[in-house]
Amino acid sequence: MTRYARITGTGGYLPAEVKTNDDIAQTVDTSDEWIFERTGIRSRHIAAPDETASAMAEIASRQAMEAAGVGPEDIDLIILGTSTPDRIFPSTACLLQQRLGVRQGAAFDVQAACSGFIFALSIADQYVRTGTAKRALVVGSELNSRVVDWNDRATCILFGDGAGAVVLEAAEQPGILSTHIHSDGQFQDLLYLPNSDVGIDDERYIQMQGNEVFKVAVNTLGRIVDDTLAANGMDKSEVDWLVPHQANIRIIGATAKKLKLPMDRVVVTIENQGNTSSASIPLALNEAIRDGRIQRGQVVLMEAFGGGFAWGSALIRY
């Protein structure tokens, strides 16, 4: 009997504070018009000083576990994508494990920048499908507001904070149809977050050559959606929903166009969330499942692209 991994619960968390484009325009030379037109963003959520990636992950995870009807005793794998861990070690996944009262299985972080959730999902899928894990918690949680330079208009307008989570369980029916992950380190200098205490850089904040990243992102995502459908012998017309990483509405629009998918079949959260890095896909998925847009049995294509470059996709029958 073929074994699959299936999403049985989702959760999301956005901090209470909202920072609008107009708020940002008070400190750097920009405007709501420029930001909205170039990115699709109007506002983003900002974590409170006492909030951490593990604290946000806990709220999203509890929601996902409740939706799946499982408790801490049922989870035997936690994989968490983040670029803003509470500590370098132990992993934020370990801190989350403790917060949730999970006492069994393994917990570890995945560092794949904005593709962290897709990488984590891909790993969890392998463990669940092979029977090595029964029930995995897959999380993306990011405190981008602490690692952007609020004086740099080229980056501070883009990012926001938040966390999203899914419970992945073994099932006889799909489930996750396939995942595809890739990296190319030759692009490392186009988008990076320094680790100035022990690393090789003097800067402290996210560094990005936005227009270079943009070009590679559009081409790469166009390619990966084709590859993903081809790997499953599926046609574009069979995709019900695109749940993309939310980096820029123009990048999302280009991928939707490639798929010949109207924008009302694309889950877009960027307007009020900005780019929450590895949290953006599980947050969008959670929103569209909870408001009834994504229905059981529908085909959902998720894709992400970010620092590394690292990129990936997952095709699921929800």
Residues recognised as catalytic: 114, 245, 275
By the rule CB under 6 A, 213 interacts with ligand UT7: yes
Q: Which is nearer to ligand UT7, 9 or 306 (CB)?
A: 306
Q: Which is nearer to ligand UT7, 129 or 245 (CB)?
A: 245
Q: Binding mask 214-233 vs ligand UT7 (x if CB under 6 A, - otherwise)? A: x--x----------------
Q: Binding mask 111-130 vs ligand UT7 (x if CB under 6 A, - otherwise)? A: ---x----------------
User: Which of 160, 306, 308, 312 lies at the binding interface for ligand UT7 (CB under 6 A)?
Assistant: 306
By the rule CB under 6 A, 34 interacts with ligand UT7: yes
Q: How many residues bind ligand UT7 (CB under 6 A)?
A: 20
Q: Which is nearer to ligand UT7, 78 or 193 (CB)?
A: 193
* Residue 54 Cβ vs ligand UT7, minimum distance, rounded to whole Å: 22
User: Which of 8, 39, 84, 145 lies at the binding interface for ligand UT7 (CB under 6 A)?
Assistant: 39
By the rule CB under 6 A, 153 interacts with ligand UT7: yes
By the rule CB under 6 A, 210 interacts with ligand UT7: yes
Query: Which listed range, 27-35, 81-89, 198-206, 254-262, lies at the site for ligand UT7 (CB under 6 A)?
Result: 27-35
The 3-class SS string of the chain reads CCCEEEEEEEEEECCCEEEEHHHHHCCCCCCHHHHHHHHCCCEEEECCCCCCHHHHHHHHHHHHHHHHCCCHHHCCEEEEECCCCCCCCCCHHHHHHHHHCCCCCEEEEECCHHHHHHHHHHHHHHHHHCCCCCEEEEEEEEEHHHCCCCCCHHHHCCECEEEEEEEEEEECCCCEEEEEEEECHHHHHHEECCCCCCCCCCCCCCEECHHHHHHHHHHHHHHHHHHHHHHCCCCHHHCCEEEECCCCHHHHHHHHHHCCCCHHHECCCHHHHCECHHHHHHHHHHHHHHCCCCCCCCEEEEEEEECCCEEEEEEEEC
Q: Which residues bind ligand UT7 (CB under 6 A)?
A: 30, 34-35, 38-39, 114, 153-154, 157, 210-211, 213-214, 217, 247-248, 251, 275, 305-306
